Amino acid sequence: MAGEQGSRQVSTFCALCVARCGAKATITDGAFVALHPDPSHPTGQALCVKGKAGPELVNHPERLLHPLRRTQPKGAADPGWQRITWDEALDTVSARLLALAREHGPESVVFSNASPSTSAISDVVDWVTRLRRAFGSPNHCTYLELCAWGRMLAPMFTFGAAVPGEYLPDLEHAGCILFWGYNPSVARLTHATGTVAALARGARLVVVDPRRVGLAAKADHWLPVRPGTDAALALSLAHVMIERGWFDADFVRRWTNAPLLVRRDTGRLLRAHEVSPGGDPAHYVAWDEVAGEPAAYDPATSRHQVGEERLALAGERTIATQSGVVVCRPVFDLVVEECRRMTPAVAEKVTGVPAVEIERTARTLWEARPVAFYTWSGLEQHSGTTQIVRAIGQLYALTGSLDIRGGNVLFPSVPANRVDGPELLAPSQRARTVGLAKRPLGGARFEYVTGEDLFTAALDSDPYRVRGLVNFGANLVMAHGDSARGRDALAALDFFVHADMFLNPTAELADIVLPVASAFETEGLRIGFEISEAAQSLVQLRSPLVAPRGESRSDLQIIFALATRLGLAEHFWHGDVDAAWRHQLAPSGVTLEQLRAEPAGIRVPLSTRYRKYAEPDGDGPRGFRTPSRKVELYSEVLADHRYPPLPEFEEPPTSPRSRPGLARRYPLILTCAKSLRFCESQHRNVASLRRAALDQQIELHPDTALARGIAAGDWVRIDTPHGSVRARARLNGGLDPGVVCGQHGWWQACAELGLPGYPPYGPGSANLNLVLRQGPSDPVGGNSPLRSSVCEVAPLPLDEPTPA
């Protein structure tokens, strides 16, 4: 700190992305000068270039140092930012928010934050949620539909749990690791180092990715799937496994709803009261092959009336019911039929993955089990995300690897009090979540609003007009498809406050901007580091390496100060952050004083429980948190809402196959991926990072480039049916010639290197989301199709000035 002489090392962790790498910081003469890996930390094996650039980020000349108020109307080229005091800023914010709540209901104010995977906002997401709920708003907009639905909520239909989002891959013990639409070498360093270690001890690796990147080069099987056709591949793998008997029949019979009978006429599961007058309407029915008669299944106890080994998994039965004869089949019979449509030969045509490689991969998944898997962005951003991840969930169930050592495991957590305050929001307010009517099974059930629904509510008052936005960091206009609509939506708000370390194109539309201190300047409490039992057992309080710059404050201080001014102090320990943390930590046995005294953190011994579904609970095993307490291959909940009850393949709605007319002008499939050197739309202003990645790149196969007269490094135009943006060509022989891959997030200049920024909208833009759309979105979860659309790539015309 100021006045300090000499050099010292401080234990900390980098909070810039989801990896949260354990680290040691060097403080020299009071200044934060370097960050190093800390191998003694469970996530400290390595640091990436972004973490190492931490000091540059902290000291960056463009950091926001004071609260700002806009003086020019929205839409003006320059917002006319005027410096104001914190008191004025917080008074204005609270007065405007209270007025909106009074006049239009608290639901008219949406709360938002940057993704915890791309920022240190993970320190405070639960506190933002608490603030929102205490304020009375059911509306939280935070990329669920672009980043988390497929890992966290869609798997609930199958497993009643977030597999793989919370049931994480146990890389240390896995026999086979499956990464599907996930590239940890870029996205989560800790998973990449864990995988390299697993490979060294002989684990097998399967990578499903249109590009041969990251660990794909080390994989036993790399499956270059055509973007968006992943469900077809999963169904085909399942088909081979079933045909060959390469699946865990015991798990399927005992722990999934495979034996339950489905009525052909209604598509509903047969119930016991339909079969016999004394039957319980809550009981399902399977077919007892030994007795040749129906046998009830009671979900309350997870018990079948007869031993599971007697239950039929195949065959059509004609069953006399109270209302006549009905034809029924076990769920598994329907699964087999659906998968059979996707023979490897058919799947090769659909997905581009060679049939023989599908066969071989199916064998590996079986022979090298337990399988530990993870899926992410490659699957989140499709019109069919729910179906895709349901198909992969089904495949995963066949391996029988769930919740066993080396499979996907819920690592234990250090006990702590929950602080996100579900009790603070009235059910009547919850029922007002934007999007609930449109997608009753979507994120709105859990108070999440999609970007598409936010923009529609702000612009079209559907289902009502959203008028206020409290935003911690999120760069909403850049992150969502149709950025120009996003700009119009945010400009239409009555009041918008944005808290950030830097101005971004979203902040440009705010009324008030609040300067946030970086994670390196603030305390942050982390209870568990997620990726393993050892990582989960560490509780660490990040200590500030240097004082916050200017007048910047931590997000947490801002939240607590705002809560107090909004009259919500009683829910926020009267503004006392330490008291709040003490409450949070109480069940852990670890105190705040201990954590402050030990910056490397305190370890609380934990031990992982496996096969929790088989643990006794009341009269039977615990089972799963689905309506049937089994893994639901067949989802009656989805069927009741007119969605397919079994995972199916649907061709992406904007593809060369589904839109052949469109494909004549836009013959290439456009997907995208993260950048190693930047988090999402951030960090282009950091010289050490930008130096080696000057401009947005578009990856093309060399033949695709040659056919268009494009050479490596050329400026090109990416044309979609919605407009054009620019990028530099990068040739990649490991890509299907029909697929190209862009990057999202380019707008920022790097003054130190004299490198330009790009307008988020209009001519000269490099913003991929300007020419992508939010729809047609996934009917269940609302995911936007940012990873399977069509485009053409052409050399940039000579009359269009290149920015370099």
Give 315-321 contacts, CB < 8 A, sequence gap 24+: 315/287, 317/261, 317/287, 319/261, 319/270, 319/275, 319/294, 320/275, 321/270, 321/274, 321/275
Distance CA(397)–CA(332), nearest Å, equals: 12
Asked if residue 190 lies in contact with residue 176, where contact means CB atoms within 8 angstroms, the answer is no
Q: Based on CB atoms, which residue is closest to ligand MGD, 181 or 601?
A: 181
Distance CA(295)–CA(310), nearest Å, equals: 10
Q: Does 211 bind ligand MGD (CB under 6 A)?
A: yes
Return the half-sphere exposure (C-beta side, CA atoms, 13 A cut-off) of residue 227.
Answer: 31
Q: Does 749 bind ligand MGD (CB under 6 A)?
A: no
Distance CA(145)–CA(445), nearest Å, equals: 13
| Residue range at the interface with ligand MGD (CB under 6 A); choices 227-235, 538-546, 598-606, 615-623 | 227-235
Asked if residue 265 lies in contact with residue 415, where contact means CB atoms within 8 angstroms, the answer is no
Q: Based on CB atoms, which residue is closest to ligand SF4, 20 or 630?
A: 20
**Tokens representing 607?**
């031990």
The interface with Mo ion within residues 136-155 (CB under 5 A) comprises: 147
The interface with ligand MGD within residues 751-770 (CB under 6 A) comprises: 768-769
Taking CB within 5 to 8 Å according to partner kind, which of Mo ion, ligand SF4, ligand MGD, none is near residue 225?
Answer: ligand MGD
Q: Based on CB atoms, which residue is closest to ligand MGD, 242 or 392?
A: 392
Residue with structure tokens 């943006």?
A: 725
Least distance to ligand MGD, CB of residue 607, Å: 29
- Residue 166: φ, ψ to 5°: -110, -35
Q: Does 472 bind ligand MGD (CB under 6 A)?
A: yes
**Tokens representing 287?**
């077919």
Q: Which amino acid is at 158?
A: T
In this structure, the chain runs to a length of 804
According to CB under 6 A, which one of 482, 555, 636, 651 is a site residue for ligand MGD? 555
- Total number of residues binding ligand MGD (CB under 6 A)? 66
Q: Based on CB atoms, which residue is closest to Mo ion, 628 or 788?
A: 788
Q: Based on CB atoms, which residue is closest to ligand MGD, 261 or 513?
A: 513
- Residue 782: φ, ψ to 5°: 80, 15
Pairing status of strand 715-720 against strand 620-621? unpaired
Distance CA(162)–CA(88), nearest Å, equals: 43
Least distance to Mo ion, CB of residue 209, Å: 17
The interface with Mo ion within residues 98-137 (CB under 5 A) comprises: 115, 117
Taking CB within 5 to 8 Å according to partner kind, which of ligand MGD, ligand SF4, Mo ion, none is near residue 474?
Answer: ligand MGD
Distance CA(8)–CA(370), nearest Å, equals: 44
Q: Based on CB atoms, which residue is closest to ligand SF4, 391 or 545?
A: 545
**Tokens representing 627?**
């309506």
Q: Based on CB atoms, which residue is closest to ligand SF4, 16 or 497?
A: 16
Q: Does 508 bind ligand MGD (CB under 6 A)?
A: no
Least distance to Mo ion, CB of residue 319, Å: 47
- Map residues 148-187 to x or -, x wherever contact with ligand MGD holds by CB under 6 A: --------------------------------xxxx--xx
Q: Based on CB atoms, which residue is closest to ligand SF4, 17 or 125?
A: 17
Q: Does 679 bind ligand MGD (CB under 6 A)?
A: yes
User: What dihedral angle (degrees, nearest 10) is formed by the CA atoms of 216, 221, 222, 226?
Assistant: -150
Taking CB within 5 to 8 Å according to partner kind, which of Mo ion, ligand MGD, ligand SF4, none is near residue 390?
Answer: none
Buried b (16+ CB within 10 A) or exposed e, 266-299: eeebbbbbbbeeebeeebbbbbbbeeeebbbbbb
Residue with structure tokens 């990251």?
A: 214
Taking CB within 5 to 8 Å according to partner kind, which of ligand SF4, Mo ion, ligand MGD, none is near residue 186?
Answer: ligand MGD
If we measure between CA atoms, which residue out of 326, 328, 296, 327 comes closest to residue 311? 296
Q: Based on CB atoms, which residue is closest to ligand MGD, 25 or 208?
A: 208
The interface with ligand MGD within residues 230-259 (CB under 6 A) comprises: 230
Angle subtended at Cα 575 by Cα 573 and Cα 579, rounded to the nearest 5 degrees: 45
Q: Based on CB atoms, which residue is closest to ligand SF4, 44 or 106?
A: 44
**Interface with ligand SF4 by CB under 6 A: which residues?**
14, 16-17, 19-21, 47-48, 50-51, 189
DSSP helix/strand/coil, 604: coil
DSSP helix/strand/coil, 661: helix
Taking CB within 5 to 8 Å according to partner kind, which of Mo ion, ligand SF4, ligand MGD, none is near residue 189?
Answer: ligand SF4
Least distance to ligand MGD, CB of residue 185, Å: 8
For helices 230-244 and 331-340, give the axis angle rounded to 10 degrees. Answer: 120
DSSP helix/strand/coil, 552: coil
The footprint of Mo ion (CB under 5 A) covers 115, 117, 147
Residues that bind ligand MGD (CB under 6 A): 17-18, 114-115, 117-121, 143, 146-147, 180-183, 186-188, 208-211, 213, 225, 227-228, 230, 376-379, 472-475, 478-479, 499-502, 504, 516, 519, 555, 671-676, 678-682, 741, 744-745, 768-769, 772, 786-788
